[in-house]
Structure 1
Amino acid sequence: MSFPDNKLTVRTPADLVTAVPYILRFRPGDGSIVLLASNRRVVFAARGDLPAPGAPASHLLDLTANLIPVVRRQQPITHIMLTGYGNADHVDPALRTIGEAFIASGMPVRALLRVTGTRVFNLDCDNPACCPLEGTPLDPTSLVAVQATAAGLVALPDRAAVAARFAPVDGPARDGIRRATRAATARLKTVRAAGDAAVDEAGAQAVRDALRQHDDGKRLTDDELAWLTLLLKRPSVRDLAADLTQPHDRHVTFWADITRRAEEALVPAPATLLALAAWRCGDGALASMAANRALQVDPAYQLADLLLQALHAGLPPSAFEQAIASARTNPSHQ
């Protein structure tokens, strides 16, 4: 079974578990369940939190009921692999319940794996020759890890490290942005006096200049960033930025930096653009966190809400254009 772009090939459960953090872009913690759907290649990956030990059985049933229709949308798939993280008492019963539900719904489950510490256990195999009772040790220097590194894939240590990519700056960096934003606000008043077309023109120029500078390896100054984030409040400027943003890591890094440094009230637009860029690059975790960041600041920010709905529904990145088109038909609160 090969992963997208033939970057990784796995042959054993240990290989699969080693590959998971590179697929998710971070290492799952205890209490996580990871689902991979495949048709010879992994076409869909999702991570969720298992209900806490002792939680009502309905919580696990609700998790399963939410997962099944999401995975069904990924057709055609040939099989599903489930991996749980934590101790056997917590993980094994949950994995078996979820696996049985998928099988009952007509979707074959190929593997039920548990990761406890640095060992992987195959719940479907009782052959000690390949699946010893003490588990199979994970090798961080395995061929899969080497292949992933050579392919430029990075696995952050946990979800907190993903969120840290766009966490707000503070201290002198925050003070500098505040000063620059005040100056940019005064500048924008002058441009607005010339009409909406002048604002759109200024916005288009700011977006193109900013992306060009980043592609040339230059970081925006505080003044440039403050000017850009003010203009991105205008839906037409934000939409242009979405159109010009490319699905590659450089633009993900760009919008993460803008989101980190933007004044709090101006975060929704760059955070949503970060979410869009990450989504199109296949980084669902970063996309979801960035969209939630936009909605923390403005719960009525429609494009972020649409994107989050698409992510929760398991829609592919190709739904990007539909999400943009839907948002543009109702410009209020964008």
Structure 2
Amino acid sequence: MSFSDNPLSVRSPADLVAAVPYLLGFRPDDGSIVVIVTRNGRIVFAARSDLPAPGAPTQLVLDLAAQLVPVVRRQQPITDLMIIGYGQADHVDPAVRVFDEACTTGDMTVREVLRVTGTRVVNLTCDDPVCCPPEGVPFDPTASLLAVQATAAGLVALPDRAAVAARFAPVTGAARDAMRRATEGALARLEAVVAAGPAAVDEAGAHAVRDALRHPDRRLTDDEVAWLTLLLTRASVRDLAVNLTQPHDEHVTFWADVTRRAHEPLSPAPATLLAVTAWRCGDGALAATAAEHALQIDPDYQLADLLQRALHAGLPPSTFEQATAAARTTPST
């Protein structure tokens, strides 16, 4: 089988395990479950979730399966699935078997159920000790040919989910103090614009957004970041930024930098724009993490909430227009 947008081929369970970090954008931790969807021999979708803690009631695993199975079914048409659990056998095996049964009951074909424990891959669906010994087969992701091919193709697999969040982690120290001063100056500047009326704020916002995105590879000054993030608090300005932002890596890098440097109360808007852009680029891990960051700062930020719901539901980026239409009905967000 191969990736839907890439010619990389998956020919074995070891290849599949090597592919997972590139599908997700990061390497899953122990206690993770990953479900991979294929359609006519091509991988079209991958979902990851945290398993309940070891020893947790079985009902928690059933509840998690009840949430994840509809997300998987939404990817129809589906040829078959692969389920991979990460961690020790006593934690992972009962859980993945629950997911296997839930998917099979839902009229989906599960081709393989695997467990990754340390540097070994155990095939839980094959009883042949010749090809699939019960102790598993050794696996070295750094020596995998698929990993080399994926890297050459420009695919990235960060070490863990924390590394994803680190891409837009807030600046600290002197950089943070400088942004605070720049934001204070921008607030004084904004007061004069607000006094001229809403149209003046929209005009200033449109100018700031268009000027910034005209050359997204240019790093903004502190004053420019402060001015832009203040104006993005206005929904009409943020929506213009959504429309003008393109699904390109340089736009992802741009919004990650603005999110990092924004005065914290002003970070939900650029973080949501980062999430939107990453989603459009196919980086679901970064999109979900950025949306989560926006909601940590402002739990009522509606656009980030809508985006997070769409991501959790496994919806494609094409649904975003519906989400933004709903968000625009509440100008204060």
After TM superposition, the score normalised by the length of structure 1 is 0.96
**Structure 1 residue 22: deviation in Å?**
0.5
Alpha-carbon distance, 1:7 to partner: 3.6
What is the distance in 2 between the residues matched to 1:185 and 1:48? 41
Aligned position for 1:121: 122
Equivalent in the alignment of 1:268: 268
Q: 1:329 Cα shift? A: 2.5
1:128 is displaced (CA, Å) by 2.9
Deviations 1:259-314 (A, max 9, x none): 11100110110011111111112222221121121111111111111111111111
Alignment of 1:130 onto 2:151: no
The corresponding residue for 2:73 is 72
Equivalent in the alignment of 1:33: 33
Per-residue CA deviations over 1:85-128 (Å, capped at 9, x if unaligned) read 01111111111111011101101101101101111111111223
Moved more, 96-105 or 192-201: 192-201
2:207 alignment partner in structure 1: 205
Query: What's 2:234 paired with?
Result: 234
Give the C-alpha shift of residue 243 in structure 1: 0.5
**1:16 partnered with 2:16:** yes
Query: Is the aligned partner of 1:312 residue 2:315?
Result: no
Alignment of 1:1-334 (within 5 A): 1-39=1-39, 40-139=41-140, 140-215=142-217, 218-331=218-331, 333-334=332-333
- Equivalent-residue separation in structure 2 for 1:113 and 1:147 (angstroms): 23
* Structure 1 runs not aligned, ≥5 long: none
AA at the equivalent of 1:178: R
- The alpha-carbon deviation at position 242 of structure 1 amounts to 0.4
* 2:206 aligned partner, one-letter code: A
Rounded to whole Å, the distance in 1 between the matches of 2:135 and 2:232 is 55
CA distance in 2, matches of 1:250, 1:121: 40
| Maintained 8 Å contact 1:26/1:157 | yes
State the secondary structure of the residue aligned to 1:80.
Answer: strand
Distance 2:51 2:87 in 1: 10
- Find the aligned partners of 1:329 and 1:100 in 2 and give their Cα distance: 42
Deviation at 1:256, TM superposition (A): 1.1
Q: Which amino acid aligns with 1:211?
A: L
Return the offset for 1:212: 2.4
Q: Distance in 1 between matches of 2:216 and 2:43?
A: 32
Contact map agreement 1:213 1:220 (CA 8 A) in 2: no
Deviation of 1:37 after TM superposition, in Å, equals 1.0
Question: What is the letter of the counterpart of residue 154 of structure 1?
Answer: V
Cα RMSD for the two superposed structures:
1.2
What letter matches 1:37 in structure 2?
Answer: V
Q: Is the 8 A contact 1:279 1:317 kept in 2?
A: yes
Query: Which residues of structure 2 form unaligned runs of 5+?
Result: none
Partner SS for 1:81: strand
The letter of the residue matching 2:182 is A
**What is the deviation of 1:137?**
2.0
Identity in percent: 73
Q: Distance in 2 between matches of 1:4 and 1:137?
A: 28
What is the count of residue pairs matched by the alignment? 331
Partner of 2:5, secondary structure, is helix
Letter in 2 for 1:99: D
Q: Secondary structure at the match of 1:203?
A: helix
2:50 and 2:162 mapped to 1: Cα distance?
15
What are the Cα deviations for residues 227-284 of structure 1, in whole angstroms up to 9, with x where unaligned? Answer: 1000101111100100111112221111111111100110110011111111112222
**Counterpart secondary structure, 2:185:** helix
Q: Measure how far apart 1:132 and its partner are.
A: 2.9
> Matched residues in 1 for 2:312 and 2:20: separation?
20
SS in 2 for 1:34: strand
User: Distance in 2 between the 1:64 and 1:70 partners?
Assistant: 10
Match of 1:166, as an amino acid? F
